[in-house]
Amino acid sequence: MWIRVVRPSLLVALCGLLSGYAVADAPLANAVVIVIRHAEKPLEGDLLTPAGVARANAYPKFFKTLKIDGKPFHVDHIFASTDSKKSHRPRLTIEPTAKALNLDVDVRYPNKEYDALVKDLETHPYGKGIIISWHHGNIPKLLVSLGAPDTLIPDGKWPDQTFDWAVALKFDAAGKVIPKASKIIHEHLMPGDSK
């Protein structure tokens, strides 16, 4: 039986190299993900109300000037849930921002497939600034799937009449959510938004 002794300094260097590779390879390393609910909806139909259109049109300025912990938020990729027979609202809400930033809206994932979206984010690099526009009923589950604390959304349910929250999730160098750095941002885009 042959055993080769590896010098400790070489072993330390190898471990450092491997751990550095793992950290650098984490697609969500040092990323910020902003999750918003689609804008205001009518009682019937798949589009936005006039107030919803106004909110959607206010988002480009909001995202261009948004700072997270004093640093400008730069948008690299935008997701919205796939259009359905009942709603095109997540896409319509974020399209003006995508257009203003010269980006496409990635609509590959239906509302209930938020886990597939999260797996994609965890395995493919989309940049360090990501926006997700989704349906409010599944946003709490989406956030938890991303690693956010389940207490981030009060009572674990996005209020039916709340359209002015943006949830910011900060990720560490290993691509894991930093719970204390995750928060709800009150947008204050429209008259009547919560304080």
pTM (two decimals)? 0.87
In order of 85, 143, 167, the CA distances from 183 in angstroms are 32, 11, 6
Beta bridge partners of 177: 171
Instruction: Please give the single-letter amino acid code of residue 73.
Output: F
**Spatial distance between the Cα atoms of 190 and 97, rounded to a whole number of angstroms:** 16
Dihedral in degrees, nearest 10, Cα atoms 90, 156, 34, 87: 0
In order of 3, 37, 44, 121, 165, the CA distances from 187 in angstroms are 63, 12, 26, 25, 6
Domain coordinates in residue numbering, the chain: 28-186
Record the tokens describing residue 69, joined without a space: 């912990």
Instruction: Please tell me the CATH superfamily of domain 28-186, with its number.
Output: Phosphoglycerate mutase-like (3.40.50.1240)
* Tens digit of each residue's pLDDT, the chain (195 residues): 444 444 443 443 444 444 444 445 799 999 999 999 999 999 999 999 999 999 999 999 999 999 999 999 999 999 999 999 999 999 999 999 999 999 999 999 999 999 999 999 999 999 999 999 999 999 999 999 999 999 999 999 999 999 999 999 999 999 999 999 999 999 999 887 875
Tokens 């002794």 found at = 5
Q: Is the dihedral of CA 34, 143, 195, 96 positive or negative?
A: positive
Record the tokens describing residue 107, joined without a space: 């609509």
Q: What does the buried/exposed string (b/e) look like for 89-114 if buried means 16 or more CB atoms within 10 Å of the residue's CB? A: bbbbbbbbbbeebebebbbebebeeb
